[in-house]
Amino acid sequence: MEKLSYASDSSTSPWVTYLRQIDRVAPHLGDLAHWIETLRHPKRALIVDIPLQMDDGTIRHFEGYRVQHNLSRGPGKGGVRYHPDVDLNEVMALSAWMTIKCAALNLPYGGAKGGIRVDPFSLSEGELERLTRRYTSEIGLIIGPQKDIPAPDVGTNGKVMAWMMDTYSMNHGTTITGVVTGKPIHLGGSLGREKATGRGVFITGCEVAKRSGIEIEGAKIALQGFGNVGSEAARLFEKAGARVVAVQDHSATLYNEAGIDLTELTVWQTESKQIAGFPGAQEIAKEEFWTLQMDILIPAALEGQITRERAENLSCKLILEGANGPTYPEADDVLAERGILVVPDVICNAGG
């Protein structure tokens, strides 16, 4: 059987990274190794064209995806990502990691993921709503409370989930709140949902640190990604006595040896939509982030961030994978050789 017929040949692509990860596991599975072949093949992948009328009357087309990797344990579960780099290759990998994640936590769900290749910040709210509603209608054939349950991810939030729920409900003639999670509270959402993943990173990190003799109080933390996951995890570590000395996002890399005031940074980010220009820290070069003195690294942005070269330069004792697939397999080898402990994404960020 052709194993990579639907995947990119790039050795750095998310799907190839996933395949390399599970192939490494196979020798340790004994009589269960035959299941690796099943995990190499997504059950279902849907690609949809989304024609969108822009505010100026023009029509633009966007490509959307929904992939169900494995539904053996129950309905699919996984977020919807809006980002310019979204493609089928990435969504397949993210859905596969959701399969592993749900199984690792013994949840009665399978792995799924979705997304649209779009910069959500370039759209007006009206355009974003129309895009979401059309996408929901297009993937409506394969989602539902007993089929596949979307959730927020990079570039989406509770409002987007509300639009998805409303569209799906209208198409079915009755209110179906269970079609998505991460909804606003007044529409049946769960209290604490937005902070759950970041809190899970914190709780997992504290437990691993305690068992490994790593002190949280006074620890220097470097954070990549200041969204729901990264900001909440950092806030809790700060409350526990750690110092967040570096924060990186798409706009800038901030550094302050004395510690960055996360409350002030949150206010700045809310007002300016980025961390660049924050007066409470100095801006340094992007690659310098990976060479800073730190005790704990929290990659909480996108996949494929920790390369072999970056792993060779890291000074941390512990890595908490708040993002999905942030570490390449060859980087894992370097980290293991150097004695740097990694808490993998399928455990570390599974709280949400």
* Active-site amino acid positions: 113
Identify any residues that bridge with 111 across adjacent strands, giving them in sequence order.
Answer: 70, 77
57: Cβ–Cβ under 8 A, 6 or more apart, which residues? none
Cβ(70)–Cβ(44) below 8 Å: no
In the Cβ-directed half-sphere of 260, how many Cα atoms lie within 13 Å? 31
State how far the Cα of 159 lies from the Cα of 155, in Å rounded to an integer. Answer: 11
Instruction: Report residue 207 as tokens.
Output: 């437990």
Instruction: Report residue 133 as tokens.
Output: 């509603």
197 labelled ligand-binding: yes
φ/ψ (deg, to 5) at 300: -130, 40
State how far the Cα of 25 lies from the Cα of 38, in Å rounded to an integer. Answer: 14
Instruction: Report residue 200 as tokens.
Output: 């899970």
101 labelled ligand-binding: yes
Give the number of other CB atoms < 10 A from CB of residue 29: 12
Helices (H) and strands (E) in the chain, counts: 11, 12
Cβ(140)–Cβ(163) below 8 Å: no
Residue type, 328: Y
77 labelled ligand-binding: yes
State how far the Cα of 19 lies from the Cα of 148, in Å rounded to an integer. Answer: 23
Q: Any idea what the Cα angle at residue 100 is, between residues 99 and 101, rounded to 5°? A: 95
Q: Any idea what the Cα angle at residue 235 is, between residues 112 and 288, rounded to 5°? A: 85
Instruction: Give the orientation angle of helix 88-104 with respect to helix 14-25, to 10 degrees.
Output: 40
Instruction: Report residue 244 as tokens.
Output: 């967040």
State how far the Cα of 15 lies from the Cα of 345, in Å rounded to an integer. Answer: 15
Positions at the binding site for substrate: 77, 101
Positions at the binding site for NAD(+): 197, 228
Positions at the binding site: 77, 101, 197, 228
